[in-house]
Amino acid sequence: MATAVITPERENYLNQEYGIKSWLLTVDHKRIALLYLVSITFFFFIGGFFALLIRLELLTPAGDLVQADTYNKLFTMHGQVMIFFFLIPSIPAVLGNFLVPLMIGAKDLAFPRINLLSWYLYIIAGVLMLHCICTGGVDTGWTFYTPFSTAFSNTKVVEAGVAIFIAGFSSILTGLNFVVTIHRMRAPGMTWSRLPLFIWAHYATSIIQLLGTPVLAITLLLVVFERLFHLGIFDPTRGGDPLLFQHLFWFYSHPAVYIMILPAMAVESEVVACFTRKRIFGYHFVAMSSIAIAVFGFLVWAHHMFVAGISLYSALIFSALSYLVAVPSAIKVFNWTATMYKGSITFTTPMLYAFGFIGLFTMGGLTGLFLAALGIDVHVTDTYFIIAHFHYIMVGGAVMGYLGGLHFWWPKISGRMYPEWLGKFAALIVFLGFNLTFFPQFILGYMGMPRRYWQYPPEFQVLNVLSTAGSTILAVGYVLPMVYFLWSMRYGKIADDNPWGAAGLEWQTTSPPPTFNFDVPPVVTWEAYNYDQIPAPAEEVSVER
Amino acid sequence: MSDSPAALERHDQHRPHGPELLHHFSSAQQQRDAASLGMWLFLGTEIMFFGGMFLAYLIYRLWYFNEFAAGSRSLDITLGTVNTIVLICSSLTVALGVRAAQMGKRKLLVILLLLTLIFGLAFLGIKGVEWYAKYKEHHIPGASFDAGDLIRDYPQIHIDPAHAQIYFSLYFAMTGLHALHMIIGVGLFTYLLYHSMKGRYGPEYYTPIEMGGLYWHFVDVVWIYLFPLLYLIDRKPLG
Amino acid sequence: MSEHVLSSKTYYGIWIALMILTVVTARVAFIDLGPFNTVVALVIATCKALLVVLFFMHVKYASEKLIKMVIVASIFWLLLLLLLSLADYGTRYVRHG
């Protein structure tokens, strides 16, 4: 790989045009990705702020920091902001937007203006959500269960519902863009079997976004109508069924968790392949598993309703289906691990996050299997066991996948290297902080501590204190990358076109890429992950500079 | 539809092409295929969007058949049938309009788009008349809802007013969402009419007409199902 | 989408069929077929929908299978929502109302 000598600075997508208009009216998928990066980072810290308040309250058994009603708002806002304004967009809107056209050899997404519209819808939704938070917030839990949300809550349910409705359309349009792009705009020679697994996983994610999000949209709309016009569709005193809301809500919200994890799996495949310098083991199995996760994910939603009042027979069906959905995820974990066997592994920051992902996602996923068993679920549902389960997947899995991906592609995005030793250090802090925060919660839940309670019996305090301590460490681990990424944009080492020696079309163009991605449109004649043909990077990238 | 953004104009490999080809596509065919797939995927999302309400309808119709039947009978079947016919006629004019564009017949295209708009507005007008009738009969859900007339008209079956309100809630939610889509369609076709009058569409480029047509047909298909589900639940002669 | 230009005769023919089916469905509703009223109404509606989708929306003449797959998948997913929910509603207590 030739080291780029950049004097004077080549024209790329960052310096091609300056000024706020060139950013706010851009249709370049790479600039839109950066717009998203800034916005979702903002909402991540908002959601994190609520998390810290929750953990502060839970330091002591008594409800002594905030009132119970306020606590209800804290966990609601934490969930809504983190899920709809951070996790769901995160990898697809930042890394997906940036990389999908590059990886398939296209100049941009199929609909660049719709891409920009996606971002504006996200911003409008975000502003509405912020306004909702600042003028009283919502206390229904992120799940908006009726009839509390429709008939009894005195908080701003309508505003939050509308905000998430709009954010949903942002998500739908992103998914639509990706599916059309992947079908229609692959470079000559880029057959489906030569696509990076990152593309397969984002394709599957987009299918879920397209088919599931509209159901959330109509459900929230019905909740808003019910609240505004006192309808009774979800009101049991007037013949309505609260479970109808839950069926409609979870029909989206379960597949939504696959929207959140599939893109992290996408990153995992790319990072593991690069830092073991091997083709992903069982490429076709991993690709088909992505599609299987997307399809099976729609078949299991009522496992969130086992104790809500659904019939026992349907509970049995959904329990069995929930075991089925674990299979494709397990296939992926086995294949990543098999890839590492006899691979040439380098422990770079992205690879550290990748290791963390495999371990923590597996723990989260396995505890999901425990929950699929009706007998266990009845015991631990609505306890901290559930909270630990999904945080292992969402934070230990998805967020670590996101951070790993940001580090891996940072040189391509910014043209700079982040400080590698700091990257490793932060990754370790995140891993330690994460486990200290959430592992005690498995025990707490099993011991019976309910979720969404602002006070608890004194015997649970020690574990809660450990969890809160962990959360402060985790917070440090999250702040560090933000600081050194910003620092690197000015002072970081200038990156080569392919500092990792990675496979993939995105590494065949400059760092950062030109506005139209490739000076010469690529023609693909090689298989994905052709590490046998790519030399390892000239310099040892894991050594601190 | 609108012009390419400035940033895309500065690409140095500039092949000659018609004004409508956006620069990130490699050919007009690719652009057309992308638009078509995009519109069909969007219609797929719309199926799921309406689908949530179909689930609610399904459950409550199973549970409260009597109230649903009574509520359905209170709708004006003549107006409903007329509206169905109006929409079918509008789908015809849309399909013929696409054909006119394909064949370069600009004047015919303009007439057909105009007719489509007239049919669309007629549908909305008739719907307004129906809703007004519901308002007069106190069938709009909310504080003023009163199912007394249904109870009086059907003494042989038990009618729970709360369940009847659920029927009308779904009636207004479903026809309301459908009408909103019609309004958007009318806006869309006003735009298409304007640009077709300026001669923008022809055999080389009629994608917006085709895509607008797909949307319009979809809204028609939704109504094709709403009509029997809402109006024809139980019209058997009583007694 | 296809470049196929259909004859206006075909369009008028489909239009006549749709009008006839509309009148039929409205009239049949007044005939007592027991539980089959609903079935007939939905069958007729589906025939009408098929005519619109296949001919007015040109799906019959689509050059690739992808569009048909999108339609089939969307309808399948809707049926998934309806039928799996019925797995619960159909096996609870039957409500009398």
* Each residue's pLDDT expressed in tens, for chain A with a length of 545 residues: 455 555 567 889 998 888 999 999 999 999 999 999 999 999 999 999 999 999 999 999 998 999 999 999 999 999 999 999 999 999 999 999 999 999 999 999 999 999 999 999 999 999 999 999 999 999 999 999 999 999 999 999 999 999 999 999 999 999 999 999 999 999 999 999 999 999 999 999 999 999 999 999 999 999 999 999 888 899 999 999 999 999 999 999 999 999 999 999 999 999 999 999 999 999 999 999 999 999 999 999 999 999 999 999 999 999 999 999 999 999 999 999 999 999 999 999 999 999 999 999 999 999 999 999 999 999 999 999 999 999 999 999 999 999 999 999 999 999 999 999 999 999 999 999 999 999 999 999 999 999 999 999 999 999 999 999 999 999 999 999 999 999 999 999 999 999 999 999 999 999 999 999 998 889 999 999 999 888 888 655 444 43
| B146-154 CB contacts, 8 Å cutoff, 24+ apart | B147/B67, B149/B74, B150/B67, B150/B70, B150/B71, B150/B74, B153/B70, B153/B73, B153/B74, B154/B66, B154/B70, B154/B73, B154/B238
Q: In whole angstroms, give the CA distance from residue A241 to residue A232.
A: 9
B239 within domain boundaries = no
Q: Do A423 and A543 meet the contact criterion of CB atoms below 8 Å apart?
A: no
Which residues of chain A make contact with C97, given a CB cutoff of 8 A? 239
pLDDT (0 to 100) of residue B5? 35
Q: Which two tokens stand for residue B165?
A: 């309100």
Which of C66, C77, C88 lies at the smallest CB-CB distance from A311? Answer: C88
CA nearest A271: which of A395, A362, A405, A394?
A405
Between helices C65-89 and A197-229, what is the axis angle to 10°?
50
Q: Do A398 and A265 meet the contact criterion of CB atoms below 8 Å apart?
A: no
Q: Which two tokens stand for residue A81?
A: 């902001």
B98 within domain boundaries = yes
Which H/E stretch holds residue A347?
A: none
Task: State the chains in contact with C (3 or more Cβ–Cβ pairs under 8 Å).
Answer: A, B
The reply to whether C71 touches chain B by the CB within 8 Å rule is yes
Q: What are the structural domain ranges in chain C? A: 8-89
B219 within domain boundaries = yes
A450 within domain boundaries = yes
In chain A, count H helices and then E strands. 17, 0
Q: Which two tokens stand for residue B22?
A: 């956006």
Chain C residue with minimum CA distance to A303: C88
Q: In whole angstroms, give the CA distance from residue B215 to residue A1.
A: 50
Which residues of chain C make contact with B67, given a CB cutoff of 8 A? 97
Which residues of chain C make contact with B55, given a CB cutoff of 8 A? 81-82, 85
Q: In whole angstroms, give the CA distance from residue B18 to residue B4.
A: 12
> Would you give the DSSP letter of residue A3?
P
B21 within domain boundaries = no
CB contact under 8 A, A176 and B34: no
Q: In whole angstroms, give the CA distance from residue A154 to residue A156.
A: 7
Model-level pTM? 0.94
Q: How many domains does chain B have?
A: 1
Segments of A55-163 assigned E as strands: none
Identify the domain containing residue B142 by its residue range.
50-231
A26 within domain boundaries = yes
ipTM, 2 dp = 0.94
The reply to whether C16 touches chain A by the CB within 8 Å rule is no
Which of C77, C87, C92 lies at the smallest CB-CB distance from A298? Answer: C77
Q: How many domains does chain A have?
A: 1
CATH of the domain at A61: 1.20.210.10
> Smallest CA–CA separation between C56 and chain B, in Å?
6
CB contact under 8 A, C80 and A243: no
CB contact under 8 A, B237 and C26: no
As a three-state string, the secondary structure of chain C is CCCCCCCHHHHHHHHHHHHHHHHHHHHHCCCCCCCHHHHHHHHHHHHHHHHHHHHHCCHHHCCCHHHHHHHHHHHHHHHHHHHHHHHHHCCCCCCCC
> Smallest CA–CA separation between A365 and chain C, in Å?
24
Which of A211, A298, A302 lies at the smallest CB-CB distance from C88? Answer: A302
| Numbered residues of chain A with Cβ closer than 8 Å to any chain C Cβ | 183, 211, 215, 239, 243, 247, 251, 298-299, 301-302, 310-314, 317-318
Which of B8, B45, B64 lies at the smallest CB-CB distance from A239? Answer: B64
Q: In whole angstroms, give the CA distance from residue A364 to residue A474.
A: 18
CB contact under 8 A, A310 and C92: yes
> Smallest CA–CA separation between B135 and chain A, in Å?
14
Q: Do A523 and A187 meet the contact criterion of CB atoms below 8 Å apart?
A: yes
CB contact under 8 A, A211 and C88: no
Mean of the pLDDT values across residues B49-63?
A: 96
pLDDT category at B7 given cuts 50, 70, 90 is very low
A529 within domain boundaries = no
B20 within domain boundaries = no
A12 within domain boundaries = no
CB contact under 8 A, C77 and A243: no
pLDDT of B129 > 90? The answer is yes
> Smallest CA–CA separation between A253 and chain B, in Å?
14
